Chains A and B, each alone.
Chain A
């Protein structure tokens, strides 16, 4: 699927900047939601945005799509400065998946809903049909095309919403708390698709989340607090900082807690962020112990 997803979008240049925000400020009435925020996201990166409720995460990503106006500063998306004039073109390039799948369906069937964005792009009918078929197949929802959105499960709805966005072939995909209303299995399915999108290198992925497991999979993590970026680094560095996690009202990922517990018991396997990392580290630890015991270590 990775190769297929890659074929679905234009190949990108890794040195290009997908999002650049300079001294951006956003107000809602008298309240300043974001203040003096500067940020650069290179193309092809998966950036995860964390922060407690009301910190300004969703406002930040809505500014990138032009859904909210900014009062100060400069926003450049995929080389285009965001203005009312360039907003329609920017929306072609920035796809957005929202938290509640029920609120984002326009069409009466999944097929109509995928077609909605393509109709706005003024594509020819044949191209629309081809894209609907291609992206429905890739996201495993071909059999659901004639179904009413209300008859789908949460995971199916979110896959359909993602298909509707990907069919528009955006360069940047924003997932605003896309896993927050999903059960564990559906969440894993969506995360799997996001990993494949990242691996394809064809998309810049920006996800807003409260899920540490999702954060652990990203390339980069941003922490927003009171309308500003308070931390920017790799998930491995930031998820190990308990104070930062407390600020976001998050708990460290379970594999990291397990690594710490093992360390306290004298088993040093480093800071692991996923189950597979724990398994690999334990296996290496076991082999190392075996080599020391048998004198075969190299």
Chain B
């Protein structure tokens, strides 16, 4: 189950993208999302696609990893494209087959909308592929710091996020083990009505949840035994360090936004 899922994983590497400060990558992601939502024509899509491909190339991660990350969403991408293709109007008529009429405007809207989704997923994958989840959480913690002024416990939120990320593979592993154990005892979803499927899914969910609680208690003991106290002062092994490359990287994201403004 977890082997198939590539999205959200960190892929070790020594590229300049890997070496960037997680804060730079997180803010870049926000800027990129802004750019993605600003795009509304072929030229804009092409500009963003080239920009994304350049950053992907810089990461040194093979293209097949990104394709694997996008694959599970293929159905959604095709649906978005077809929806806009058949229901979008405007521009010259391209095709007229019975009840279906295809317009250039619909085609452009379909391509742009599906591309928006594709670009967003690819860039999010790039962020997780090149950043250790712990570092990502630390970067996020730094960016959320201003919220401390309104008493938002950002340190706890970051620790919670980091621990959640740590336990994802473990809980997947446990769910898979439980699933296999139930299948070996004759469990099958095939040919069952939806309500029955939901009941069986709950039968799987209950032991997984109970296991997660048990692990949480064990983890709390382990953390306390190693001197962790809520709100107590701590130092960090890795410091977040901002370099010129981070500034340049972030600055480069203003280019597509500016270009889109002009387009």
Q: Are A123 and B235 in contact (CB under 8 A)?
A: yes
Q: Which residue of A lies closest to B226 (CB)?
A: A117
**Chain B residues within 8 Å of A129, by CB:** 237
Nearest residue (CB) in B for A90 is B227
**Centre residue among A96, A107, A150 by max chain B CB count within 10 A:** A150
* Interface size grouping (class) on chain A: 35 or more
Contacting pair B163 A119 (CB below 8 A): no
Q: Interface readout for A50-80 with B: 1 if CB under 8 Å, 0 if not?
A: 0000000000001001010000000000000
B133 in the interface (beta carbon within 8 A): yes
Q: Does A103 contact B (CB under 8 A)?
A: yes
8 Å CB interface, B225-254 against A: 225-229, 232-239
Q: Is B156 an interface residue (CB 8 A)?
A: no
Q: How far is the CB of B6 from chain A (nearest CB, A)?
A: 15
Instruction: Tell whether, in the assembled complex, residue B170 and residue A165 are in contact, meaning their CB atoms are under 8 Å apart.
Output: no
Q: How far is the CA of A124 from the CA of B163 in the complex (A)?
A: 23
Is B227 touching A117 in the complex (CB atoms < 8 A)? yes
Contact A119 B218 (CB under 8 A): no
Task: Assess the B226–A67 pair: CB atoms within 8 A.
Answer: no
Size category of the B interface is: 20 to 34
Contact at B224–A108, with CB atoms within 8 Å?
A: no
Q: How far is the CB of A87 from chain B (nearest CB, A)?
A: 9
Given contacts A100-B218, A104-B218, is CB(A168)–CB(B227) below 8 Å? yes
Does A12 lie at the interface of the complex (its beta carbon under 8 Å from any beta carbon of B)? no
Q: Which chain B residues lie closer than 8 Å to A121 at the CB level?
A: 227
User: Which of A62, A95, A103, A168 sits near B218, CB closer than 8 Å?
Assistant: A103
Which of chain A's residues have a CB closer than 8 A to the CB of B223?
A: 106, 116
Look across to chain B and name the residue whose beta carbon is closest to the beta carbon of A115: B237
Docked complex Cα distance between A112 and B237 (Å): 8
Cα distance A107–B234 when bound, in Å?
15
A47 within 8 A of B: no
B233 partner residues in chain A, CB cutoff 8 A: 122
Across-interface contacts of B225 in A (CB, < 8 A): 65, 67, 91, 94-96, 98
6 nearest A-B pairs in the assembled complex, by CB-CB distance: A103-B218, A104-B222, A120-B227, A117-B226, A115-B237, A96-B225
The interface of chain B, by Cβ under 8 A from chain A, is 12, 132-134, 162-163, 165-166, 169-170, 173, 214-215, 218-219, 221-229, 232-239
